[in-house]
Structure formats: C-alpha cells, structure tokens
Amino acid sequence: MGKSTVVPFGPQHPVLPEPIHFDLELEDEKVVKAIPSIGYVHRGLEKLVEKRGFQEYVYVAERVCGICSFGHGWGYSKAIEGLMEIEIPKRAEYLRTIWHEISRLHSHLLWAGLGADALGFESLFMQCWRIRETILDIIEQTTGGRVIFSVCKVGGVRRDIPDQELKEIVKRLDALKKEIDGVADIFLNDETIHARLKGVGTVTYDEAVALGCVGPTARASGVPQDYRIGDEGGAYKELGFTPVLATEGDCFARVKVRLLELYQSLDIIKGCVENMPAGDIAVPVKGFPPAAEYFTRVEQPRGEAVYYVKGNKTKNLERFRLRTPTNANIPVLVKMLQGCDLADVPNIILTIDPCISCCER
C-alpha cells in the first residue's frame, strides 16, 4: 500500500494558463481520483444579454474566450441571422471562413507551444510561438487587433480584405508551411516526446461516443465528429471537406490530429481565396428579433460549439446559451485522469485543449 497524498493542482499553476482546480488523490505518483472544481472564470455573461442590445452583444460574445474569439462572434451572429432570417452576402461568408481558419491556425500553434512547454521542451515552445507571430501579423493587418478581432457583426463583416491582399496573404502562408513542417517533424518523430505521449490517456471509440466528447479529442479516437462536414450554405460545403481522423485515441493521436488540421486549414484558406466571390460584405439589419428560438453550431478549434438564442421582440434577447466544446470534454478528461501518473496530468489536461473561460463563460 503506497503513501496517499492529496495534491491541490491549480488554480494558480505555471503549466496551465487558466485557473482550474483539481484535487488529485495520489498514491505514489499515480492518480487515483481527480476531483475538478471550476468556477474561477465564471463571469455570468449569458445574463448580460438582458442589459446589452442584440447587435452590441457581439462584442461581449467575442470576449468569451480570447483564443477562440472569432468563432464565438461568428456563432452568435449566425444565430441571430438565423433567428431574424437574414441572408448575408456570399463574400461575407467566405471572409468569415478565412478568418475562422486563420484563427484555427493560431489556436493550434498556441496549443502546440503550450504542450511542448508542459513536456519540458522550451525551445519547441519558442519556435511554435515564433511561427504564430506571422499569423498574428496577418490578423492585425486585416482586422486591426491581434487577439480580439471585432470584425464579425450581425449581417456580415465589418471590414473587407481586397483581393490583392488576399493573394499576398496566401503567399505568406505558403512560406509558413515550411516552418510548420519543421515543428511537426519534431513533434511526430522525437523519441522523448513519444515516450511521454504514446499510450497515455487512451480513449476508445466507444468511450468517446458514450462520454460525448467533441473536436480533435473525438476525432483522435476515430469518431468523425466535425460540424464542417454537414455545414449548410457555408464555404465548407462548396469547397468540400473531409475530417482528419486518427484511431489510437491516446495523447499522441490528438497531437497528430491537430498538426494535420493545420495543413488542412492552410488548404481551406487557399481554396476560399481562389473561389472568393465579389460583392457586398454586409446587409443592413432592421427591426428586432422575433419571439422565437434558433440554434446553430460552429466548429471551433476545440470542437463543436452550440449557440442558442431566444428573442422576445425587444432590443434585448430573452436568452443566450452557449455550449462550448470544453464543456463536452470535461467528462472524458476526468475519466482519463484516473490511473495516470502525476507527470502525465498536465499533458492529459492540455491534450483536450481546455479553454476554461469558454467553459465557464
């Protein structure tokens, strides 16, 4: 019988940038039970719809999370447009797709860097974030902000990207591909990384379906769960989309899925630029949302996010509900943490790519 300790993990912790608390019951460095305690980032912003107008609220919705910020703005705008039956111009749809895929690139590279840092591989962390700066430059050039874009609005987008600029962006992303190759090569082939990630935190296909996980966490176990497959009326349908899948279901498979998604995003951006339709970027929005409800989904970098809105014929919505991907991934996280080593805890937590501020809103 080993020595039993309770290690309080978080909320202040150098490995995880966000506050989440786990009480880890250890027996000789093996985790017997992990009891999560969340709520440190809960701001209660869903209730804020009652105080802010439905068009103004986009700016609050964006700030649910700084990393998946554009996706939240898009999801909310899409939900209101669906509720009020507004059809946005094609060009706006394509521009939104481009920004969302760029957002996915920056999110996955950020995650890769943090993962490497948790493994003790600081130089890889530095390289990933250095590459990410190129993407942030592109974002800043097109939207004006590095982290919070504020470019999505109900009815379309606020800014346009001229075609000439789009071609130049594609050239820069092509140059970036070589650098991503370098980083992906290390992640996929380094022996010490294999030793830390292979066989750790395995989730089988059936467990993934039963626990309801989403995003790369599910796709790494072979579950083809990606909203972009069945997307109606968006750019994804016109470009054609196949999800990236892996079968092993361990931490290494999740790393592989995210790295391959980087390449996929680069291809999608190129496809959007090549097929970019001309036209307006927004339509005017008149009136108030009807007394009805609507929900829509967006494939965030971390998985599928569900946006539900309910109007009541006034400037303020009755209800806004957001189910973020991390909410859906917490049960599978608790299952993975049982029986793992203490040294694996940050790796496992980071492989579901937790976004606690999304989760708690």
* Positions in the binding site for another protein (CB under 8 A): 5-9, 11-15, 17-19, 26, 29, 39-45, 47-48, 51, 59-60, 63-67, 69, 110, 113, 116-127, 129-130, 133, 145-148, 190, 192-193, 195-196, 341-343, 345-346, 355, 357
In the numeric block, the tokens 């346009």 are attached to 160
Whether the CB-CB separation of 326 and 334 falls below 8 Å is answered with no
- Which candidate, 39, 41, 32, 34, places its Cα nearest to that of 9? 34
Closer to another protein by CB, 61 or 203: give it.
61
3-class SS at 30?
strand
Residue 87 CB, nearest approach to another protein (Å): 29
Which residue has 């068009």 as its token pair? 55
- Residue pair 122/115 in contact by the 8 Å Cβ criterion: no
- The least CB distance from residue 180 to another protein, in Å, is 16
Minimum gap (Å) between residue 98 Cβ and another protein: 21
Which helix (H) or strand (E) is 34 found in, with range?
strand 30-37
* Nearer residue to another protein within complex by CB, 74 or 294: 74
Integer Cα distance of 262 and 108 in angstroms? 7
Nearer to another protein, 234 or 354 (CB): 354
Q: How far is the CB of 343 from another protein (least distance, A)?
A: 5
Contact 325, 214 (CB under 8 A): yes
Q: Which is nearer to another protein, 235 or 348 (CB)?
A: 348
Could you give the CA distance from residue 266 to residue 269 in angstroms, rounded to a whole number? Answer: 5
Q: How far is the CB of 179 from another protein (least distance, A)?
A: 11
236 versus 307: smaller Cβ distance to another protein: 307
C-alpha separations of 353 from 53, 58, 79, 226 in Å:
32, 24, 25, 16
Residue 115 or residue 243: which is nearer to another protein going by CB? Answer: 115
Q: How far is the CB of 219 from another protein (least distance, A)?
A: 23
Residue 47 or 177 with smaller CB distance to another protein: 47
- What does the alpha-carbon distance between residue 89 and residue 105 come to, in Å, rounded to a whole number? 25
* CA distance to 227, 238, 305, per residue, from 136 (Å): 25, 27, 23
Helix (H) or strand (E) holding 300: strand 293-300
